[in-house]
């Protein structure tokens, strides 16, 4: 199989060892353990004594009221940090609030690695993000327990989609990043390390290899071009909320023609959340277009494994396509200028910060866009990737 790769940047080392010494653990939790014991014993004793009195009077309503008050006060103390129901993580811990789908989680993890290293913190994953990423990739960061995530007094830091100067100076004992960072400006200086963190687990690597080997059947050589067509909820959300468009057949034809002109042995591996649409609109008469996967949105990692093992990439919109191109490491073509000038999407997305400078953008066709006012509530719909 004749596959071509761009050279990688110099590898970067980042210590992800999250071992905690016994001294650290005792120092961090001794005080909390005493607080838990004191409050629980005191409140429980008070409750039992009072229940005896009211039980003698057969006043069940008052007993229930007292019990509800006790539960409320206990919950309030937990919420305020008066009682810590679990072990607090060591100072200097950094994490990221998991939000969105696979492409979002990958951006959140890569940003967490970069910003924690930049500010001298130690990255650790929340349970949801850790379970998802470790089921797909050979990520090295440790995963906290649910009790640790609740017990640790996190200070939240909302993020823009791109890097700014203020993120180089985050000073807090416990940092939780929040947002949908989807920009190479956070982590491209450590791109080889990020790519290693997103090494697929052996079953996915084997699946990708077998898929590409099957596509090689009857060919002397092949330059694989991964094609990701994002549709799904974007068909409705992009025009109605963000006043934009998604990739149409004309855009895909232009992008495919670019790579056909560059590589006579180009083979296009197409993945999508709407494969039926792709099969209707893509020209397969040349025999160089192959449809990948079974349109199973519950297992997108299989498509991503194939796309990231291609030489180059074409994608429409969304972070899934971005990561397919970033992990592939070759040239990429993306849909550019896909929103109207008054689109609210431009407040949270900057094209030059989202796509690598050497990638090629093909402008979207906005002429047929329905000139209707955007629907209400777009500020709540940032989870679109």
Q: How far is CA 133 from CA 129, 199, 310, 322, in A?
A: 6, 11, 21, 17
Q: Residue 126: what pLDDT?
A: 96
Over the stretch 123-182, which tens digit does the pLDDT of each residue have? 999 999 999 999 999 999 999 999 999 999 999 999 999 999 999 999 999 999 999 998
Show the tokens assigned to 212. 């590409």
Confidence band (pLDDT; 50, 70, 90) for 94? very high
| Range 82-99 average pLDDT | 82
pTM for this structure? 0.77
In percent, the amount of the chain with pLDDT more than 70 equals 72
Can you give the residue ranges of every domain in the chain?
A: 22-79, 93-190, 203-380
The answer to whether 350 and 377 have CB atoms below 8 angstroms apart is no
R_g of the chain computed on alpha carbons: 26
Letter string b/e over residues 271-299, b meaning 16 or more CB atoms within 10 A of that residue's CB: bbbbbeebeeebeeeeebbbbbbeeeeee
Q: Residue 14: what pLDDT?
A: 43
Q: Which of 329, 326, 332 is nearest to 314 (CA)?
A: 332
Q: 160 versus 77: which is more confidently predicted?
A: 160
Over the stretch 273-331, which tens digit does the pLDDT of each residue have? 999 999 999 999 999 999 997 666 668 999 999 999 999 999 999 999 999 999 999 99
CA distance 123 to 109: 9
Architecture of domain 203-380: 3-Layer(aba) Sandwich (3.40)
Q: Residue 59: what pLDDT?
A: 61
CA distance 376 to 66: 45
Taking the alpha carbons at both ends of the chain, their separation in whole angstroms is 32
């Amino acid at each position: 199989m004749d596959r071509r790769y761009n050279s990688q940047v110099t590898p970067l080392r980042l210590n992800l060892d999250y071992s905690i010494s016994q001294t650290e653990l005792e120092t961090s939790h001794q005080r909390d353990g005493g607080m838990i014991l004191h409050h629980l014993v005191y409140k429980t004793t008070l409750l039992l004594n009072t229940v005896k009195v009211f039980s003698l009077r057969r006043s069940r309503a008052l007993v229930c009221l007292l019990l509800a008050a006790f539960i409320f006060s206990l919950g309030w103390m937990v919420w305020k940090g008066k009682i810590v129901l679990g072990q607090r993580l060591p100072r200097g811990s950094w994490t990221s609030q998991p939000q969105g789908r696979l492409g979002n989680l990958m951006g959140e993890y890569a940003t967490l690695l970069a910003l924690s290293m930049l500010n001298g913190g130690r990255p650790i994953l929340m349970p949801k993000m850790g379970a998802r990423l470790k089921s797909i990739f050979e990520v090295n960061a440790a995963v906290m327990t649910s009790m640790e995530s609740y017990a640790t007094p996190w200070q939240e830091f909302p993020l823009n989609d791109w890097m700014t100067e203020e993120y180089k100076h985050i000073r807090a004992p416990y940092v939780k990043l929040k947002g949908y960072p989807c920009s190479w400006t956070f982590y491209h200086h450590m791109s080889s390390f990020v790519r290693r963190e997103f090494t697929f687990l052996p079953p996915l690597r084997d699946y990708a290899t077998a898929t590409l080997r099957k596509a090689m059947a009857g060919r002397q050589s092949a330059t694989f071009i991964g094609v990701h067509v994002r549709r799904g909820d974007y068909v409705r959300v992009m025009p109605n909320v963000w006043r934009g468009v998604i990739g149409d057949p004309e855009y895909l034809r232009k992008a495919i023609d670019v790579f056909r002109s560059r590589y006579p042995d180009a083979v296009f591996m197409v993945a999508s959340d709407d494969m039926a649409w792709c099969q209707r609109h893509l020209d397969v008469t040349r025999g160089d277009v192959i449809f990948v996967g079974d349109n199973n949105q519950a297992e997108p990692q299989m498509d991503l494994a194939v796309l990231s093992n291609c030489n180059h990439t074409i994608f429409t919109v969304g972070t899934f396509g971005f990561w397919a191109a970033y992990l592939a490491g070759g040239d990429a073509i993306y849909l550019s200028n896909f929103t109207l000038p008054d689109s609210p999407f431009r407040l949270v997305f900057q094209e030059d910060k989202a796509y690598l400078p050497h990638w090629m953008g093909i402008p979207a066709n906005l002429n047929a866009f329905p000139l209707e006012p955007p629907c209400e509530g777009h500020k709540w719909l940032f989870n679109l990737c």
